[in-house]
Chain A
Amino acid sequence: MSVVLETDSLVKDFGSIRAVDHLNLKLNKGSITALLGGNGAGKTTTLSMLLGLLIPTSGKISILGDDFVKDRYPALKRMNFSSPYVDLPQRLTVRENLTVYGKLYGLDDVRSAVMEMVETFRLTELIDRRLRKLSAGQKTRVSLAKALINKPELLLLDEPTASLDPETVSWIRTFLKNYQRDRGATILLASHDMKEVEQLCENVLLLRKGKLVEEGTPPDLLAKYSRKTLEEVFLDISRGGVV
């Protein structure tokens, strides 16, 4: 199985604080992996480095066969990202936002891509509405539409279902599962929702104080920690228990 993303001894220091400590990750093509950890564990710092928004202090990142630290642009065309903590321009309509991002990613037929995303994410009736007039759930769907407009081979998601109603959450999870299955995409998601992780992810990476302290499939982790839910496993590890 080919490796889509790999880090080698990745380190990020902010002054005297080590936010990410010699992290070694490997994501196989077509996998959905969860990046878990408590607040300050280094999830967002790791994601930022994997997106090129943050320069690592040391270590290597390889994405889709490219040396990402040296030249991130070839890989950035083939990946994308969504987070509730990064907004799209609120004054622009759904159509305008998707058009701008379709063009930024150099799509051949932006108009068709926008319409496809609008239909996929059930935004047809909202297409000419400004983002500031949309509900939180609708904005999340637009953000995901933007994240998928270039049909990324690698999708990084930061809490993709945070503060959404159960119906939207369920719909997004199903969509992501289908997208991964149909397109062989690789997905890395940071989440605090253990139920989501159990439903979606075949692999779990657990960070604590910037270090990868546990890795495995959800059933393996449940068995190793003799727990019934991932949440209990997460609490064990976060509290510095068995590792």
Chain B
Amino acid sequence: MKSGSIYRIHALLLRYLYVLRSSWPRIIEISYWPTMQLIIWGFVSLHFGAAQPEITASGILISVVLVWDSLFRSHVSYTLSFLEEMWSRNLGNLFVAPLRPWELMLALATISMIRTLIGMIPAALLAIPFFGVSVFDMGFPLLAFFFNLVFTGWAISQVVTGILLRYGLGAESLTWVIPFMIAPVSCIYYPLSTLPVWLQEIAKLVPTSYVFEGMRALLLEGEWRADLLQKAFMLNCIYFILGMLVFLLAFRSARTHGLLLQAGE
């Protein structure tokens, strides 16, 4: 017998990869939305750039769109993989196996990373010939921005999957809604100073605001603000742990109320 978390995480990862490869429309769908976003925002950027070049300097608009989408993709990929278990009424089978809830979370995070990369890389590559913007020119900072946003996506997903576990598929629409709750205070398209002072204080509690401030500093002023990335990372760690706690509490609550066998359509 091979006991150990690594085997069980591998088993689940295999399960999600089987689902992925079973349907070519799914694979296309993963990169479809980021590519559409890129095309639309690419033309918006060209239009604005012709009138006011400072708005789109250094490909800032396209870069923030792509990086923001990595948060949304990582969240949706994580949550959709969890929803697969609910839709197929498989949670009961999973949890009568010696699978720990945190192993499920780790497997979901891993498949989320794979799906996010499948979605984002083609869009980022297309931006080079079509709009002359290469996010890869950012080098290492791009990785730091990307991982921070993916991290935020996972923290949100842990809360959403916890809610799904506790309240069932009636809460499915939260999957699509919740990431946009932090969008206004993430300062994706505008600097933090644009917000009213009281909203700036709220934005400072959101890790994504530091990521986009850091991106603007790098792309517009050529300044690498490691302090902003550090703050984003620290906040992400806090929210990630809180997200894990929410999921684990929801899991315990589901076990108390007998929801694991009922979870499904």
A243 within 8 A of partner (CB): no
Q: In the complex, are the beta carbons of B256 and A55 less than 8 A apart?
A: yes
Q: In the complex, are the beta carbons of B258 and A45 less than 8 A apart?
A: yes
Q: In the complex, are the beta carbons of B98 and A73 less than 8 A apart?
A: yes
Neighbour of A91 across the interface among B2, B7, B88, B97, CB < 8 A = B88
Neighbour of B98 across the interface among A54, A76, A107, A146, CB < 8 A = A76
B139 within 8 A of partner (CB): no
By a CB distance below 8 angstroms, the chain A residues around B7 are 103-104, 106
By a CB distance below 8 angstroms, the chain A residues around B261 are 44, 48, 53-54, 83, 85-86
A89 within 8 A of partner (CB): yes
Q: In the complex, are the beta carbons of A103 and B8 less than 8 A apart?
A: yes
Q: In the complex, are the beta carbons of B10 and A103 less than 8 A apart?
A: yes
Among B18-26, B39-47, B144-152, the stretch in contact with A: B18-26
By a CB distance below 8 angstroms, the chain B residues around A80 are 96
Interface flags, B250-265, vs A, CB<8A=1, else 0: 0010011110110010
A96 within 8 A of partner (CB): yes
A90 within 8 A of partner (CB): yes
Interface flags, A33-51, vs B, CB<8A=1, else 0: 0000000000011001001
Neighbour of B97 across the interface among A55, A76, A89, CB < 8 A = A76
Interface size on B, residues (CB 8 A): 37
Chain A 119-158 interface residues, beta-carbon cutoff 8 Å to B? 130, 146
Neighbour of B18 across the interface among A76, A85, A96, CB < 8 A = A96
Interface size on A, residues (CB 8 A): 38
By a CB distance below 8 angstroms, the chain A residues around B23 are 91
Q: In the complex, are the beta carbons of B90 and A55 less than 8 A apart?
A: no
Q: In the complex, are the beta carbons of A14 and B258 less than 8 A apart?
A: yes
B173 within 8 A of partner (CB): no
Q: In the complex, are the beta carbons of A53 and B11 less than 8 A apart?
A: no
Chain B 79-121 interface residues, beta-carbon cutoff 8 Å to A? 84-85, 88-90, 92-100
B14 within 8 A of partner (CB): yes
Q: In the complex, are the beta carbons of B14 and A53 less than 8 A apart?
A: no
Neighbour of B95 across the interface among A14, A53, A103, CB < 8 A = A53
By a CB distance below 8 angstroms, the chain B residues around A53 are 92, 95-96, 255, 258, 260-261
By a CB distance below 8 angstroms, the chain A residues around B4 are 106
By a CB distance below 8 angstroms, the chain A residues around B90 are 86-89
User: Closest A-chain residue to B2, C-beta based?
Assistant: A106
By a CB distance below 8 angstroms, the chain B residues around A54 are 255-256, 258, 260-261
Chain B 209-265 interface residues, beta-carbon cutoff 8 Å to A? 252, 255-258, 260-261, 264
Neighbour of B88 across the interface among A51, A79, A87, CB < 8 A = A87
Q: In the complex, are the beta carbons of A107 and B8 less than 8 A apart?
A: no
Bound form: Cα–Cα A88–B85 in Å: 9
User: Closest B-chain residue to A102, C-beta based?
Assistant: B11
Known: A73-B100, A100-B11. A83 touches B92 (CB 8 A): yes
By a CB distance below 8 angstroms, the chain B residues around A44 are 261
Q: In the complex, are the beta carbons of A100 and B14 less than 8 A apart?
A: yes
Q: In the complex, are the beta carbons of A92 and B15 less than 8 A apart?
A: yes
Besides A14-B257, A48-B258, A146-B93, 7 more A-B contacts (Cβ < 8 Å) are A51-B96, A81-B96, A91-B23, A93-B18, A100-B11, A106-B2, A106-B98
What residues of chain A have their CB less than 8 Å away from a CB belonging to chain B? Answer: 14, 44-45, 48, 51-55, 73, 76-77, 79-81, 83, 85-93, 96, 99-108, 130, 146
Q: Which 4 A/B pairs are nearest by Cβ-Cβ distance? A: A103-B11, A86-B92, A87-B89, A76-B98
